Structure 1
Amino acid sequence: MKLLHLTRRGFLRATGLACGYAVLGLNMTKEAVAAAMEFVAKRQEKVYEADSDDKLYEYKKSQDNPMIVALYDKQDGFLHEGPCGHMSHHLLHTHYDDRSAAVKALKAKGIKLAL
């Protein structure tokens, strides 16, 4: 019992269409990748151009900013201990609290969380 009856002409027509779609799809993929790479290159060029413009940024390094210098001033600065002092660590760094046990306990009770 034959599931599909295909003549030679039908077979040639089907393989021609398949090859045409494969080549066309490959060509379209190449064009899409080339367009994306061109966009990335242009964007990268503009980012470097903006970064090299001295008029755009007054201070290129944060340690040159007078507000930061005043903040860490040894005499009367708020963070007078320095960049690695206790107060700057407390104010400027984040802390991690492990809450996985509480989530597991809620799931064990049958509560469904939408995460």
Structure 2
Amino acid sequence: MSKLGVVSRRGFIKLAGFAAGYAVFGFNMAREAVAATMEFVGIRQKSVYEADRTVYPIRKSQDNPTVQKLYAKDGFLHEGPCGHKSHELLHTHYVDRSAALQALRDKGVNLNM
């Protein structure tokens, strides 16, 4: 590996192409291209957020009336979001099933995953 990090001919050609592009078009044009790309990303991001806002009126779970009723003083999870009952019902635990899957594969079972 050389000091420039070029390992192969292909890497060298790629690096030389970038260098030639900067020499011909200049750094300013490359900077403008990056700026135009970032502007497009910003416009796209804004439109996605606007579409979400119009399609989904309730975007946060804490604003959902059903969730508020669930955690109300007379609700099912009245202890609160970090209470024992909510932890017991809403949290999951990892179970390693890789040995059982391997046993099935060893028996010749074809698992399409």
Q: Under TM normalisation by the shorter chain, which class is it?
A: 0.3 to 0.5
Q: TM-score, normalised by structure 2?
A: 0.47
Q: TM-score, normalised by structure 1?
A: 0.47
